[in-house]
């Protein structure tokens, strides 16, 4: 599942072709989550969101402008619907990981909220000198988002090393 998240987040393109296609990442997350769905409802919600992400992210494979479309906002919501329920499930099943899980899901919700509000609020400011002012804000948001993803991947690695309680 961690590899799937990395595939979704990283974007390497040659011309219009995405060499690390998001649908592949969402599929990897789906396959990683399905065996866990009987352990906690959060894993089921995350698996359904990841499966929807496979379809929703298909246009990103060949469209380099996908990240600027409203469709990308949908995949952002689906990504959060993978991260948050997974973190809730891990926290419930592995109390030792609850602190990290909580930090990751709160951070993920913050990134989604700021991302969804950024375009309507900051979009009209684009162009000229305003771009120079917005660049540091974008760098901080991207840096924080990468930190959240790294935390999520780290949480998954730690959780994979811990046996889940039997049902």
Provide the pLDDT for residue 130.
Answer: 59
pLDDT of residue 82: 98
pLDDT at site 60: 81
Give this prediction's pTM: 0.87
Residue-wise pLDDT for 64-104, tens only, equals: 776 677 777 888 899 999 999 999 999 999 999 999 999 99
Q: Which of 149, 162, 165, 161 is nearest to 2 (CA)?
A: 149
Task: Quote the CA–CA distance of 82 and 104 in Å, as a whole number.
Answer: 12
Residue ranges of the chain with per-residue pLDDT less than 70: 66-67, 119-133, 166-167
């Amino acid at each position: 599942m961690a590899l799937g998240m990395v595939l979704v987040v990283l974007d390497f393109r040659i011309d219009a072709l995405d060499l690390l296609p998001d649908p592949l990442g969402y599929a990897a997350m789906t396959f990683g989550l399905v065996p866990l769905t009987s352990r906690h409802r959060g894993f089921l919600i995350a698996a359904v969101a990841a499966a929807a992400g496979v379809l929703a992210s298909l246009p990103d494979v060949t469209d380099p402008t996908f990240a600027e479309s409203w469709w990308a906002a949908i995949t952002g919501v689906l990504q959060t619907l993978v991260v948050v329920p997974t973190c809730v499930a891990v926290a419930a099943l592995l109390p030792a990981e609850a602190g990290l899980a909580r930090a990751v899901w709160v951070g993920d919700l913050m990134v989604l909220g700021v991302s969804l509000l950024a375009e309507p609020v900051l979009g009209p400011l684009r162009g000229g000198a305003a771009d120079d002012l917005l660049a540091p804000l974008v760098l901080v948001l991207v840096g924080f988002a990468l930190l959240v993803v790294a935390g999520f991947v780290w949480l998954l690695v730690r959780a994979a090393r811990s046996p889940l309680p039997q049902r």
